[in-house]
Amino acid sequence: MSLYIDVGYENLNKYGEELCGDKVEVIRNRDSVILVLADGLGSGVKANILSTLTSKIIGTILANGLEIEEAVDTIANTLPVCRERNIAYSTFTILQIFISGDGYLVEFDNPSAFRFRKGKSMPIETDSREICGKIIREARFEVNQDDLFVLVSDGAVHAGIGHALNLGWQWENIDEYIQRTFRSEMTSKALAKLLLSACDNLYSHEPGDDTTVAAVKIKRMANVNVMVGPPVDARMDKTVVDRFISEEGRKVVCGGTTSQIVARALGREIMTNFRYYNPEIPPMAEIEGIDLTTEGVLTLREALSLIKNCISNESTMKDFLRLDKKDGASRLAKFLIEEGTNINFFVGRAINPAHQNPDFPLNLGLKLKLVEDMAECIRSMGKQVNIEYN
Amino acid sequence: MGLRTIVLKIYKPGREKKRILDEAIYNYSEAFRFLLDRARREIAVIGGSYRLASGPYRAGALMKWVDRDLSEELDRFKVQPFKDSLKFELGMVLAGYLNLMETGADARLPRAEGSAERPVYFCRYDTRRSYCLLYDREKNRYWAKLYLLNKDAARTTDIKTYGGNRLEYVCEGSGAFECNRRKVNYIIVPLSFGKYQERFLRDALIDPKTLRTARLMKRGKDYYLAVSIDTGKAEALAAETYMGVGRGLDNSLVYTTVDKNGDIIGSGPIPGTGGPGGRAASLHELHKAANNITEIAQKNKSQVIVQNLEKIGDEIRWSDSGGNECRPVYDRRTYIRLAELLDYKLAGMGLPSPVRVSSSDIFYRCFDCGFYSKKNRFSRDMFICTKCGATMGIEELGSLNLARKLIRYGKSRIKVKVAVTPGGARFTSKLIGLDCFIPHDENQPEVLRQEIQRLLEDMRQNREVGEILRGNEYKRRSSLLKKFGRSADCMDLIEFI
């Protein structure tokens, strides 16, 4: 089974605290993705140290193929003891998804993990066992395409206590909310951000506890092919277009000249697309068989800015909602962030005559830089990126 | 015109005056029942004969149904002093009923049977008939002169009873009240009241024209005169904020005030209202609520926005998983009545009349991102947006969305259909009357701008549009085109579909 495991997480610090007492560790290796969510005792620096140690130790041990018993034993013997409570304590949840389609879940004192299949809740049944005096819940299961796993710290289920809700946001409420918000194209990061945003609002922006949401989404591999700029050698136009067209997945053409080359090579018309008009972003066009046809540099620059906003640590839900707009830049960014798992750039290096004008601020170097920056951003999301220069 | 009613107590009437007052109220009630009973039997004829060529039924026209013969029949009730009042009041009741029937409402004429006493209505303020007020400047006391007796019951009065010759009419010219030994068909009664009422009476001394109709009524053993006073049109205030007033599940009414940018200035339940769900509030309670709303609106110089519940509901009701239904405190009819009260109360304060808007989405649309979905309502009281995670209490959300309705309307876009063909693109919108084909080799946005500008000019000069369209369709087109006219670039207002 060829799966892409999309991981995203977000956290909120307890009101007035500089550091978060929850920690998420993601380890990607060849066979699997391991996600550890640890919630340290108390809050602030102390909790941060506890959760960081816990998540790092567990992540490293499991990534090296050792058993969970080893990890729990190590934690029990190495965590610093709290002077006030005289205990060393950090709750945790471990989720390991294997590329082969197997899943492994371990929970210790954290709220139960959520599982959704095609948007419908499907709780994971766990067995309990004792390791080093700690009761651990454990489950092994099969993972399907479109499965979604959500791990939360107890701050999420307490959201709203004393503010909007009397008893806080119960596990069942979160479960229902995720089902209501589920959209198949939504990224894990967007979902984590949405859920955390709801928690933050329920806390009236003054969280009573460190709150963390981590989401893992199992997706089918999907290609997005982006052709930018005409090849240096005009005789190669047809060859490059043929190769571009023969790729599976979405096809995006950026640039006026590039669009003409593609249309000519395919023997099709270019028509102006009026579906969205935004004076700040050049209009789109339509070529039969091409999913998106846009202007070049300005659209790429705007799309890159949107992608950077979304992957930034300071991003908000508004940045993700911006992707729902219908202009060329938003649609391109949406393809790259939400749909594609493998991105192939076909970058032509011919110099655009329009860019020869010294007053024109754009040049070939800028276009290549935009593509490279874009590729870097996409790679940071754990996606495969190939760039082919022509 | 803003009307205020002040209630003045008739101060310790003697036994004889009580008898006259009781008899007047009884006679008036009997006569009105008689008229109503007759009208009920002839309602179909009345409805057909007194309908105006244009517009709704009017009390002035309907009162003519009481012709000379019927008027003479009223004499047996000894209501000669109140005949005009009876006719006018009957006209008002019939107009209300017939106009309601026109809208298909479930209405009925008041019952004619029973022994309930009806307040005596004085349809005009006059020193020689109906009623008027008198003032004792020396002792700063007010009196009422009530024409309650017919010729046969006229009686002589002793001027000493009314403080000698000190009384003067509260009317233009302020003539002295003269009393001689001749028989008269009125009684004069002293009035008692509080400081609030005295303020209006003092104003009436300066401008007696403000005194309008009155009603004589009996509550328990006491008698009262409720006088309508025209408070005039207050200086018009330009609205600087928007205030949404929505129904609630725990609170009867909840308001939110926002500035022109939609930022919240204040919100909360309307003070002095509340109670169990799904009930009809008393008129007194509604007046109190309307006064409180008016006060808040005046403080913030607000354009009040209310729910239009005439045809489409607001879906505020909530049924839990156990099938228990929770209803809003005010039912639709009560809320509509409140909005009617606001119409004149706000105008009296110089504020614009409340705007009635569709409220079908106000409890389900996100106040932050604007996303509308039934899934957004998480529970009876809690809204959690399924698109952006914004949360808010349901009652507060409703009033906030109402308050922002006009701002949202101003920013909403007009849909233009685009059909792209190999030769060009056809842009159509039935709403604004747009239908134009622009070839691909032309600057399509620019040509489209010019075409919309042409439509706007046509509308301004009442060419084509005004001739072809009528009524609501014309109003809608004109409103949309004006919106284009106000925008910096009409393309910003278009959503291509």
Q: Strand (E) positions, chain A?
A: 3-12, 22-28, 32-40, 90-98, 102-108, 114-117, 120-121, 127-131, 134-142, 147-152, 211-220, 223-228, 250-254, 271-273, 284-286, 292-294, 342-347, 384-389
H/E segment holding residue A154: helix A154-157
Question: In Å, what is the CA distance from B214 to each residue of B4, B6, B30, B80?
Answer: 11, 9, 19, 17
pTM of the entire predicted model: 0.74
d(CA A324, CA A329): 11
Find the CB nearest A321 among B388, B445, B494: B388
pLDDT at position B280: 59
Neighbours of A38 (CB within 10 A): 30
Phi, psi of A127 (to 5 degrees): -110, 145
Which residue from B139, B144, B184, B182 is spatially nearest to B163, judged by alpha carbons?
B139
Q: Which residues of A touch B393 (CB under 8 A)?
A: 164
Task: Specify whether the CB–CB gap between B381 and B249 falls below 8 A.
Answer: yes
Contact partners, residue B42, CB within 8 Å, separation at least 6: B65
Question: Residue A93: beta bridge partners?
Answer: A37, A107
- Measured N-to-C along each axis, helices A188-202 and A297-311 cross at an angle, to the nearest 10 degrees, of 50
Interface test with B, best of A277, A281, A284, A327 (most B CBs within 10 A): A277
Find the CB nearest A177 among B378, B418, B445: B378
Q: Which residue has the tokens 């011919």?
A: A350
d(CA B282, CA B230): 24
pLDDT at position B59: 87
Give me the DSSP letters along A96-118. EEETTSEEEEEEESSPPPEEEET
Work out the minimum CA distance from B378 to partner chain A, whole angstroms: 8
pLDDT at position A88: 63
**Which residue is closest to A201 within chain B, CA to CA?**
B391
Q: To the nearest 5 percent, what fractions of chain B are helix, strand and coil?
A: 40, 25, 35
> Chain B contact for A270, CB < 8 A?
no
d(CA B494, CA B497): 9
User: If you count residue pairs, one on A and one on B, with CB atoms under 8 Å apart, how many are there?
Assistant: 72
d(CA B30, CA B37): 11
d(CA B24, CA B83): 12
Which residue from A245, A248, A243, A209 is spatially nearest to A343, judged by alpha carbons?
A248
Find the CB nearest A279 among B387, B444, B491: B491
Mean pLDDT by 10 residues, chain B (497 residues): 84 93 94 92 86 76 91 91 92 85 70 74 91 91 93 76 74 80 87 93 91 93 93 77 93 94 93 57 85 94 93 86 84 88 87 91 94 91 92 93 91 82 81 84 82 83 56 74 79 79
Which residue from B122, B87, B165 is spatially nearest to B8, judged by alpha carbons?
B122
Question: Residue B10: beta bridge partners?
Answer: B191
Q: Is the dihedral of CA B303, B309, B315, B320 positive or negative?
A: positive
Interface test with A, best of B388, B395, B443, B491 (most A CBs within 10 A): B388
Task: Specify whether the CB–CB gap between B8 and B224 falls below 8 A.
Answer: yes
> Chain B contact for A317, CB < 8 A?
yes
From chain A residues 152-181, the ones with a CB under 8 A of any chain B CB are: 164-165, 173, 176-177, 180-181
Taking an 8 Å cut-off on Cβ atoms, the answer to whether B389 and A276 are in contact is no
Task: Specify whether the CB–CB gap between A346 and A244 falls below 8 A.
Answer: yes
d(CA B347, CA B349): 5
Check if the interface score ipTM surpasses 0.95. no
Q: Which residue has the tokens 């007009």?
A: B414
d(CA B418, CA B403): 34
Distance of CA A82 to the CA centre of its chain: 35
Q: Which residues of A touch B493 (CB under 8 A)?
A: none
> Chain B contact for A259, CB < 8 A?
no
Task: Specify whether the CB–CB gap between A206 and A318 falls below 8 A.
Answer: no
Question: Residue A94: beta bridge partners?
Answer: A36, A106
Strand B382-384 and strand B391-393: the pairing is antiparallel
**Which residue is closest to A203 within chain B, CA to CA?**
B391
What tens-digit pLDDT sequence spans chain A (390 residues)?
577 899 999 999 999 988 998 999 998 888 889 999 999 888 888 888 888 988 888 888 888 888 888 888 888 777 776 666 666 678 889 999 988 889 999 998 889 999 999 999 999 999 998 888 788 899 999 999 889 999 999 999 988 876 666 666 889 999 999 999 998 888 999 999 999 999 999 998 888 889 999 999 998 889 999 999 899 888 888 999 999 999 999 999 998 889 999 999 998 888 777 666 666 677 888 898 999 999 888 899 999 999 999 998 888 888 999 998 888 999 999 999 999 999 999 998 887 666 555 555 555 577 888 999 999 999 998 889 999 998
Contact partners, residue B124, CB within 8 Å, separation at least 6: B84, B130, B213
Taking an 8 Å cut-off on Cβ atoms, the answer to whether B388 and A194 are in contact is yes
Tokens representing A235 are 């005789």
